[in-house]
Structure 1
Amino acid sequence: MILYEYPFNERIRTYLRLEHLFRRLGELVPREHPLDHHYALATLFEVMDVAARADLKSDVMKDLEKQKSVLNGYRGNPAIAEGVLDEVVGQLDACFAALNGQPGKAGQSLTENEWLMSIRSRIGIPGGTCEFDLPGYYAWQQLDAATRQADLGRWARCLGPLAESVHLLLKLLRDSGTAQKVMAVDGHFQQTLPQGRSFQLLRLRIDPALQLVPEISGNRLMVSVRLMRQEGSDRLQPSHENAGFELTLCS
């Protein structure tokens, strides 16, 4: 099944983008080719760009505290395992403390590294990191893979608390939803959302054998899914067939 996720607000959209970047960084750093490490650095700079938003760190910390408050409300419930609850609350506390212990924005310490910032200023220019532009960077790329991996790990470490916090918040959010089987009639599905409940994330799983691509839109009142099919051209065309998929709404 192919999983698609659709955020209902800007905060969750930012978290999903960060998670995407952290996953990419995690894939690239263990590799050994200099080109992989070039794109690992580019990804590190992308994370810094997203994390530079003034209120991101405070938003994450508020969400950690909110989740802790919600979970503590389950104490005394016979259907809840206290040991598991304590473990998750402990993880939230650890993430909050690690993030709170960092001065300034996430990744701010990297901005004090002039060598890294010289690469960052040119990496967005087509071909801007050639050896004649950045000989020091070119020399770094010629080092052995273990040295480059150690450097990348050291630079990425200051973003670890943010990565762990975002990962935990998204896991708790995803776990809050219950999957339901639905049917798109004539290639279209629409569902009114219940009043008084604020959903933050939609998750959609669809069988790849159907060769259909969902175009999702939504707000606090309803969600809509239009199934598309890629025909001979590069453009997606609306499908007019009935097709089932799995839908999860997370709050």
Structure 2
Amino acid sequence: MRETATPPAEYRPDNALTRPTLGVVGEIVLGLLLLAVTVVATVVAFYLDRHGDYGIEIPIAVSLVFLTITVMYTATTLADRLAEPGIYVGDDSVVVGSYIWRDAKFYSTAGWVLCGALWLLVGLAVVPGYKIFGYALFGLAVYEVVKAVYHARRNRLVLNRDSLRVIVGDRDLEFPWEAIAQLRGEHVKVDKKSRPEIEFHCAPTYVLAHSGSPEPESYKILFTGLPVRPDALLATMEFMTGPREQRERVSLEQIAVMLRGIRAA
């Protein structure tokens, strides 16, 4: 993408659909606190081992458990800060799709692999019974990879100046921007968890079905496997469903910049 591309002035994302974060300072403080707790727990466990009949397995297990929590917190934090949105500019469109080596799944997978290696090494060197935990964590890493590849193949968005194409599973539907109405974003409760979604209406006569059948009118975009910030996608859709003149003057590079959530200077 061209470095000089800037978002249009009419593009105004907000944070209503984005989960709050601690900020850089808060994340560093929490990380250091977790590391301190790991050290204290390890020292206490080894102290009790020296003055009791617990065996070496208990203090090592305590140390590894807290170290695993610290490593996975670090991996998650790095994912939030460093992972790149899967947004790519093509010849005539912008594609939103997941690639594991670029998005957050890379960091969580690396975290599980590192934790699995720690448990496996301790199992091989000190406590043989801990090898099973190492294998289990390697299994979680494989699961993360399989899940990421599955969603990457099934979930994609394609945007250009004329339409929005939503590819989810076996359904591949294309919506002209001028036919999209009642666009809104919200958090909904699913299995006691809150998740963001975008809902819009489009009359069936305007929907181009590349595969699958159109709904009566209402459609929802969920963010499973879509590496794009919900507020950035909503603001981009609001911009693209605005006056025709806006769409005619916007470039593909500017659409990509909007999807990345970069605000105008």
User: Is TM-score (shorter-chain normalized) higher than 0.5?
Assistant: no
Q: Report the TM-score range of the alignment, normalised by the length of the smaller protein.
A: under 0.3
User: With structure 1 as the length reference, what TM-score do the two structures score?
Assistant: 0.27
Structure having the higher Rg: 2
